[in-house]
């Protein structure tokens, strides 16, 4: 399937508006997750796959190709995958969504839910919630 690019018609939108292209690209299964899991640094194929809850390798290859094509990630000489600067920006654009998810959890689930099989919702220690890999940013959040 064609990699969505701004300026082209995409799935579900005949006009190539950038946002629609982005919504197509990131609306595909696992793309956002891959972006998210690469936040802490480059990862190889199989390690990345494991982090993504062992997603199927065929789909993973497909997503990686699309993200490479969209210049959101690139491949290092040692063949690991890394976010491009553009990719890092996209990843940062995800922060508000992550924060919203926390509020969401708190709102629809005020007491009942014990998502206690992991350390969600109220902890800052896990490098996994909203924490950027890099503390030194002044960028656009």
Partner DNA sequence: CTCCCTCGTTTCGATTTCCGAAGCGGTCAC
Partner DNA sequence: GTGACCGCTTCGGAAATCGAAACGAGGGAG
CB of 82 to DNA, least distance (A): 11
CB of 69 to DNA, least distance (A): 13
The answer to whether residues 131 and 92 touch, using CB atoms and an 8 Å cutoff, is no
Q: Figure out which of the listed residues 3, 21, 30, 34 binds DNA, where binding follows CB under 7 A.
A: 30
Closer to DNA by CB, 84 or 95: give it: 84
**CA-CA distance, 38 to 45, in Å (whole number)?**
11
Closer to its own copies by CB, 25 or 81: give it: 25
- Give the one entry of its own copies, DNA, none that residue 102 binds, where binding means its C-beta sits below a cut-off of 5 to 8 angstroms depending on kind: its own copies
Residue 87 CB burial class (10 angstroms; 0-12, 13-18, ≥19)? buried
Residue 133's alpha-carbon distances to 38, 43, 53, 92, in angstroms, are: 9, 14, 20, 11
**CA-CA distance, 128 to 108, in Å (whole number)?**
22
CB of 98 to its own copies, least distance (A): 5
Stretch 92-111: interaction string toward DNA, x if CB under 7 A: --------------------
């Amino acid at each position: 399937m064609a990699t969505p690019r701004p300026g082209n018609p995409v799935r579900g939108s005949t006009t190539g508006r950038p946002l629609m292209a982005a919504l197509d690209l990131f609306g595909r299964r696992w793309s956002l997750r891959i972006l998210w899991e690469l936040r802490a640094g480059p990862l190889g194929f199989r390690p990345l796959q494991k982090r993504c809850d062992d997603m199927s390798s065929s789909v993973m290859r497909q997503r990686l190709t699309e993200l490479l094509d969209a210049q959101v990630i690139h491949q290092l000489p040692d063949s690991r995958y890394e976010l491009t600067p553009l990719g890092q920006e996209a990843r940062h654009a995800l922060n508000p969504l992550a924060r919203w998810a926390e509020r969401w959890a708190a709102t629809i689930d005020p007491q009942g839910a014990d998502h206690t099989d992991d350390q969600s919702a109220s902890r800052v220690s896990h490098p996994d919630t909203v924490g950027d890999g890099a503390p030194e940013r002044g960028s656009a959040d």
